[in-house]
Amino acid sequence: MRVYFDALGCPKALVDAEKIASIVQNNDHEIVLSPGEAEVIIVNTCGFIDTAKQESINSILEYTEMKKDTPDLKIIVSGCLTERYRNELTKSIPEIDSMIGVRDIGKILDAIARKSEDILDNGEYREYEFDGARTALFSGSHFAYLKISEGCARQCAFCAIPSIRGPLRSRSIDDILNEAKFLREEWDVRELILVSEDTSAYGQDRYGKQSIIDLLEKLIVMDFDWIRLLYLFPDGIVDEISELMSRSDKICRYFDMPLQHASARILRAMNRSGDAGTYLSMIERIRAKIPDAAIRSAFIVGFPEEDENDHAALAEFLKQARFDRVGFFEYSDEEGTPAYEMKGKVPAKVVRRRIEELSRIQEDISAERLGKRVGMTLKCINDGMVMEQGGKLNAVFRSQYEAPEIDGSVNAVIDYGDAPDKPFYQVLIKKVLPPHDLEGEIIEP
């Protein structure tokens, strides 16, 4: 059958979608690039927070509308949303033909073959070793995500991930290396991006200790130009990563650490360790070891009982930490989490006002941090995009200080009809393009 994929959510969900697509393609189905050509549409969903859930639902509803003109069109929904809200989806969107969750993606073949509301699996999570197949639907021209573990062992009060994806289950180092080898040799991937729910914890369940350093030491001898880490938890392993990073130019000088808050009181309520002082010391050690490190974080605003003192503490922390980039998220009241039962919910109007205030502080800091790169010549990866902006034709690059689809870009003016075709270029940074981008000039080698 002709199958169209729509993948929503985080990079981890995109990896899942590529694996599902591989199963489909290897069983004599055809992947098409337009929903209008499809006999089957698979929507891989996110069910983490309200905004992501609503995006997933809106997409499903758009595709079910197509059934009015094409009654035989089959709609299959997969991913976190179905794992979490299977019963509600069955009742509220009866046009869905089948659903699979995250416990056994191999059930996608059953879902395509027949209409069933019983495909969803309540049993154990089934892990798959890399079998030499993955379909490059959602990876970049020269980068790809590689998931190193599933689930999460932490019990943050606001987070539904452990209930959706289960406990931490690390892949073996050998299995990860097999997939990395495939991505390098078959896809010509130059930037390998390691993702998981908790990258810092990798190996704790399988090897009895945090093993991300052991994995990195094996990956850096492979033929990748860059290796990037996403989703680090701020614990002691960060110092070990800094040390290895200082010795290997293959590991991007980039730290992605969602700290979630800086008020000790709120962090305790979130069931997270640390406080502003602990985090500032960690950031100071990173920058002492890696002076040019780009540090990105994310914070939840409006956690239950967050007051103006907590808000002020976070604002002051931002001024001292001087992150390169920050994401601010409204607290999402997720049923089934400890925070859902907490009192003292902060009104949405107050949360939005606090986010606006924090964003203004961070925008000035980010502009200052970006400004330090003006005049530098940076090795930049070619993301394969060309866009017209302000009457100019720009090639879209990234330096090691930007993660794809999350941070800004490095735009270089090019002549019409002269699209870059090499994976990497040297780019002289000319100016900041607020709030998140840079503009530069390609320097010929």
The answer to whether position 226 is within a domain reads yes
> What is the reported pLDDT for 392?
78
> What is the reported pLDDT for 166?
93
Q: Read off the pTM.
A: 0.94
> What is the reported pLDDT for 343?
96
> What is the reported pLDDT for 124?
82
Tally the domains of the chain. 3
Q: In terms of domains, do 384 and 305 share one?
A: no
Domain with 402 in it: what CATH number? 2.40.50.140
Residue 264 near residue 276 (C-beta atoms within 8 A): yes
Taking the C-alpha atoms of residue 218 and residue 370, their distance in angstroms, rounded to an integer, is: 32
Structure tokens at 342: 């907490």
> What is the reported pLDDT for 282?
98
Report the 10 Å Cβ neighbour count for 430: 15
Q: Angle formed by the axes of helices 212-219 and 237-247, to 10°? A: 20
The answer to whether position 124 is within a domain reads no
Nearest C-alpha neighbor of 289 from the set 245, 323, 229: 245
Q: In terms of domains, do 217 and 361 share one?
A: yes
Residues 6+ apart with CB under 8 A from 136: 18, 144, 187
Domain boundary among 347, 371, 395: 371
Report the 10 Å Cβ neighbour count for 277: 12
Nearest C-alpha neighbor of 148 from the set 80, 196, 197: 196
Taking the C-alpha atoms of residue 407 and residue 396, their distance in angstroms, rounded to an integer, is: 12
Angle at 128 between CA 24 and CA 404, to 5 degrees: 75
Pairing of strands 392-398, 410-413: antiparallel
Contacts 24+ apart (CB under 8 A), 261-267: 261/299, 261/300, 261/303, 261/306, 261/310, 261/314, 262/299, 262/313, 262/314, 262/316, 262/317, 262/318, 263/306, 263/309, 263/310, 263/313, 263/314, 265/310, 266/303, 266/305, 266/306, 266/310
* Domain containing residue 174: 143-371
Three-class DSSP category at 378: strand
Taking the C-alpha atoms of residue 208 and residue 187, their distance in angstroms, rounded to an integer, is: 33
pLDDT, one tens digit for every residue, the chain (445 residues): 999 999 888 888 899 999 999 999 999 899 999 999 999 999 999 887 788 889 999 999 999 999 999 999 999 999 899 888 888 888 899 999 999 888 888 889 989 987 655 566 677 888 889 988 888 888 888 999 999 999 999 999 999 999 899 999 999 999 999 999 999 999 999 999 999 999 999 999 999 999 999 999 999 999 999 999 999 999 999 999 999 999 999 999 999 999 999 999 999 999 999 999 999 999 999 999 999 999 999 999 999 999 999 999 999 999 999 999 999 999 999 999 999 999 999 999 999 999 999 999 999 999 999 999 999 999 999 998 888 877 778 899 999 999 998 999 999 988 866 778 899 999 999 999 988 999 999 997 6
The answer to whether position 130 is within a domain reads no
Q: In terms of domains, do 348 and 386 share one?
A: no
Q: In terms of domains, do 307 and 414 share one?
A: no
Q: What is the arrangement of strands in the sheet containing 254-256, beginning at the earlier edge strand?
A: 254-256, 294-301, 325-330
The amino acid at 305: E
Burial class (CB in 10 A: 0-12, 13-18, 19+), 333: middle
Q: In terms of domains, do 364 and 383 share one?
A: no
- Continuous H helices in 276-327: 276-289, 308-321
Q: In terms of domains, do 302 and 345 share one?
A: yes
Q: In terms of domains, do 33 and 109 share one?
A: yes
- Continuous H helices in 137-172: 161-165
The answer to whether position 119 is within a domain reads no
Q: In terms of domains, do 238 and 105 share one?
A: no
Integer angstrom CA distances of residue 370 from 48, 106, 377, 401: 31, 45, 13, 10
Q: In terms of domains, do 88 and 225 share one?
A: no
Integer angstrom CA distances of residue 250 from 245, 369, 397: 8, 22, 18
Q: In terms of domains, do 324 and 416 share one?
A: no
The answer to whether position 129 is within a domain reads no
The answer to whether position 134 is within a domain reads no
Domain with 43 in it: what CATH number? 3.40.50.12160
Taking the C-alpha atoms of residue 63 and residue 60, their distance in angstroms, rounded to an integer, is: 5
Residue 353 near residue 374 (C-beta atoms within 8 A): no
Residue that the structure tokens 């020269």 belong to: 142
Domain boundary among 65, 93, 113: 113
Residue 51 near residue 30 (C-beta atoms within 8 A): no
Across 139-200, where does the E strand assignment appear?
143-147, 149-150, 169-170, 191-195
Nearest C-alpha neighbor of 233 from the set 263, 249, 256, 214: 256
The answer to whether position 133 is within a domain reads no
Residue 238 near residue 257 (C-beta atoms within 8 A): yes
Helix (H) or strand (E) segment spanning residue 196: none
Integer angstrom CA distances of residue 61 from 53, 55, 76: 12, 10, 12
Domain boundary among 113, 135, 154: 113
φ/ψ bin of 393: left (φ > 0), alpha (ψ from -120 to 50), beta (otherwise): beta
> What is the reported pLDDT for 215?
98
Q: In terms of domains, do 182 and 220 share one?
A: yes
The answer to whether position 121 is within a domain reads no
Residues 6+ apart with CB under 8 A from 187: 136, 139, 144
Q: In terms of domains, do 231 and 311 share one?
A: yes
Residue 358 near residue 327 (C-beta atoms within 8 A): no
